[in-house]
Structure 1
Amino acid sequence: MATLIPLDPSRTTQYTSGSPELTEHMSKMKGLWEAFIKRQLFPRKELRPAILNSWQRCLNYEISPDGTSPPFLNPQELKDRIKMNQECIDALEPVVSSVDDLIECSNHLVALVDPEGFVLRTYGNQQIQDMLSRLNFGVGANWNERFAGTTAVGIALKTRQPTHVFHAEHYCQKLHQFSCTAVPIFDPLAKDIIGVLNFVAYIQDHQPHSMGMAMQMAKCIELEIYRSRKERDELFREYSTQLMLDQMDRGIIVLDDQRYIRRANLKALDFLGVDGKELLHKKLNDLRILSNWKSLERPFFISGKKGTGVRLAHQPIVHQRRAIGSLILLEKDNQKRFDADENDPPRPLGQSRAFRQVLEYAENAAHFNSNVLILGETGSGKEVLARYIHQKSRRKENPFLAINCGCIPKDLLGSELFGYEDGAFTGARKKGKPSKFELADGGTLLLDEVSEMPHESQVYLLRVIEERAVTRLGGCKSINVDVRIIAAANKNLQEEVEAGRFRADLFFRLNVLRIHLPPLKERKEDIPLLSRHFIEILSESLEKRVEGFSGESMSALIAYDWPGNIRELRNTVEQAIVMCQGDIIQVGDLPEHIVRVSRDAPNSRNLKDGARYEQFIDAYHQCQGNITQIARLLNVSRPTVNAWRKKYGIA
């Protein structure tokens, strides 16, 4: 059975090969062609518009219907054109291979034609290939309508639509023996024609499935080109991204959302002292040097190659409000840090007896889930201590959140702390907002300046503590939470309770483990240690190298009582670094009000014995306050050491 293109395009007719119907159809088609060629008839009703329009264009092109010889590429031109269209050829090869037997047994030829109409490749029936070559329509020939007359290829290029041309529908008489089906191949992105797939068969071998098969093959070619380009783009992206990463001064490690390492630049490999193959497809914590970095939210410090200090920081990669991975940024760190092989976080700085007692109590408190109340003056380091407790606890892998109750307007504190549902009040976010308890679930929530919390919020907080569940403002759903609360205050909460400004029942709930953080004036022996620490970190951030303090300037710092505590000391050190003209901070670099206190002090003359003071302070910290060891190190008696302690104000 052969499916033939009807004279009436509204009907499809099948004729048996060699049947009278086929002979009649071909005869009528031949008559229409001859009538048109002789300009005796324009068969508008009998022919499909695409064929008739093409015949009319061929007349305008003055194409000879009897002996057309289309342009032909010489071997070098063909080679160049194949190279230009190699992408399409490479995509076609596996598609043709998958249907090779079907093409061969159906006596068809498949040709790949470029966008200008040149035949680049042919596959299938060898007899048809030989015949087309004899007719000058083989590989290298141009089947464009302007040169070959009406063909399926020419119409497909002109109309950008799949088409078939049967028998005498071909304008050139040489091609009347063929049935052709052509389907354009489009660029997957630009949608330009990048080729045409042409099925050619002798009339008696035309098959009904030719059009469907050609369209499927063309679609497969387009998909293969898309896949190949995507793969090539990905390789290019990986190569160019890696090249850019390797040019950066900082080390970079790229993690996926499961913390598997996907990429690392040369700087990161150098910092870690590892080979790139050791990193790929491993989790970050699989690396021994990073095995103790459990909470990515906090920076991590290691001793890198050649003993260089390295700081690692985490930065999430967010797409459409969802974390899809993260970057680990590595850079040189000149500050002295804790040993990365230890499982302990950096300790808050201080060697005084009073501070060591606080730290010991805090470490004990960290092992339990009881609420903690930290009392201390402003700037004394309450949040630092709270973070330390969290990091020493079993909750260290989970979030640590801090909210300052005194910095948020009282009418907004409730919505910030407890969250709210959509429509809870005018101006509320759509979809609402989660509470801090939800965000800190499994971890620790610091309520700083808790004494400033308004009464209505105190009632709500008490309920959350008692029920271990939170209900957002404007909502009715109770959400279970597991949060350890650390409260901090710079006021005496007992006095606030007695004055009626703070609920007694809430105070008792918070005051399970109480830590009193001494002010800096009660731990003056920590001032040298803290000051040197601030010099190290601030010199780097200010990009100004300062080595330390003169004996007189350090004496002035110790003589001052620091009402602003550690925060004031840090600001003073920063000012001194800015004012310093050399690499040692002199007393003249300090604020006048601090120097004045030092000059007015009764023992100011002795405090100015800078060399001895520096020597004594170094020995004191080296020996951790042990009198016998200090005396042995300085080659003096124990009474002398005790006298110096009193002289320099060290308890």
Structure 2
Amino acid sequence: MSAFLDRTSVDKLIRSSRERSQSKHSLTSSTRNPILRLQADEIIHRNERFLDQAGGAAAEVDKSALLPSRSRYCLLITDADGIVIESYAPEGVEAEFQRSGLVRGAVWDERVAGTNGIAMAMQSGRVLTVRGGEHFYDCFHQLSCSSAPLTDAQNNLIGTITLVGSLHRRPEEHALCEQVVRRASRQFQTRLFRNFHADKLTGRVLSQDLEQNRIFETLVACDEDGVIISHLPLWRDAARPTEHQGLAGRYISDLKNLKISLRGPAVVPPKRKVLHPDKPRLPARIDKDATLGRLIAEGGGLPVLAERARKLVAHRVPLLICGAAGTGAGRFARALLEDQNLDTPMTLTLDAAHSGTETDLAEALKSLDFLSDYPVCDIAPTLILKNVETLSAEAQAVLERYLDSSRADSGSKAHPPVVLFTAGKPWLQLESDEGIPRNLLYLLAQSVVELPPVTERDCETVLANVIAESFDTAIEIAENALDVLTGYHWPGNRREMLAVLREAVICGNGRRINVTDLPARLLAPREESSKALTRASLRDALDSTNWNVTKAARLLGKSRATLNRWIASEGLQRPE
């Protein structure tokens, strides 16, 4: 097996494959001639498809380059299905290999051929050798097969290359076969990568791990400014050397501790251009139909607050959005980003109330810092950190270090980040609490926007917005129910309003909210006459229950007979 697979991994792969061959594929190890062969027409078709994927004749897998003179090795090239499309055997020993199924058209899929080098190289994506008794079928126990996957510029499997020889060779020969197919596989993929990026500057970046005595190599393609736009590792095990991670978007000349060799029009790595941030630009006006436009229609000073917040975000000033719990700080933050086309899939959002935030926050801030220097597609890096008042002491220390350092070098950033914080407390309460240290609080609150409670806004507009945001179908509110909703003081703000509306819709008919559908805590004593109250309550109860008299009587706490008398006295009729 490959030197990069430990013995435990080897045994696990072999054992798993042999178990599948016997239990899942129902194969018998004593079968004498197990390998199936396809018709010539099908082989020609598969060969043409392979050549098309490989960009024509592949010199890296040519028999003259891989088979030593007077060797007794067979060379097999398969497609991605494990079908042999080319088979080369030394003169005079062709029949010996053909008896083992090492011929064009042979099917080496595990489901047919059991445990073998070709199938395992395709499944594991590794360079490996299957020897003797590791094969499933007894008739292959005298063979040693070294196989390597052949992949294209995007790491998609398109075939394999295999050297097959006698098991009774010197250990050095087995190791040599594995090195030969590994080198051929790497050269094959390198050519396809360079062909795919023929109009780009391509090269290799190498690093050495002295402890493992290994060299790691990655192919890279750069644009005309030297920014890496694509990279492809050439090792096939699970190793993840840090120097080779996160290369996309970085400038080739900025890579440290890596040996770089380029191929293309540039002799030396191009220097990174110094980018200067653009002057802040704001949309001329807020779109009334956008989220921010609908929010400021609620009044309560929100139009002034929104304009102020827009300017601060445009100038990349860290912004703290606070207010009583449920006032919608998170929604307001998203609306600000949407207003300036900053709400992208790359926006990072973290909730400080969740466990493990300090680790996630450290990674997010590191990513934010990197994207500020090496922006992707000119998209400004953005972070929303919710519920900052619940940050742990460790997370507070991480955030303080970042804000302190970023304030010092913000002018040198190619794209300064947009950082928004939200808190579920008013500003005075944040100042008086001891949850956030003073030195961090004023770094967080370099600018503050405090959202007004629902009682200071136009309640009807807030109700309409909450319904539009939270319900798929239009919900009608009866006039007397609207009086109750707009007259309520809403201590839980928008959050409580949504809960009340959802409860009313579920308990009513799903289309119209009536007084009888509202929770009892909202129903204050009324000055109306008993008769007027009875008439309104009766109509609401019948409407909410789709004129099911039994259910309406239960809602009002009356008997069915009493309800029928009321219906008759009021002259009410079931709607058509």
Q: If the length of structure 1 is used for normalisation, what is the TM-score?
A: 0.35
Q: If the length of structure 2 is used for normalisation, what is the TM-score?
A: 0.39
Q: Which of the pair has more CA radius of gyration?
A: 1
Higher relative contact order (CA 8 A, sep 6+): 2
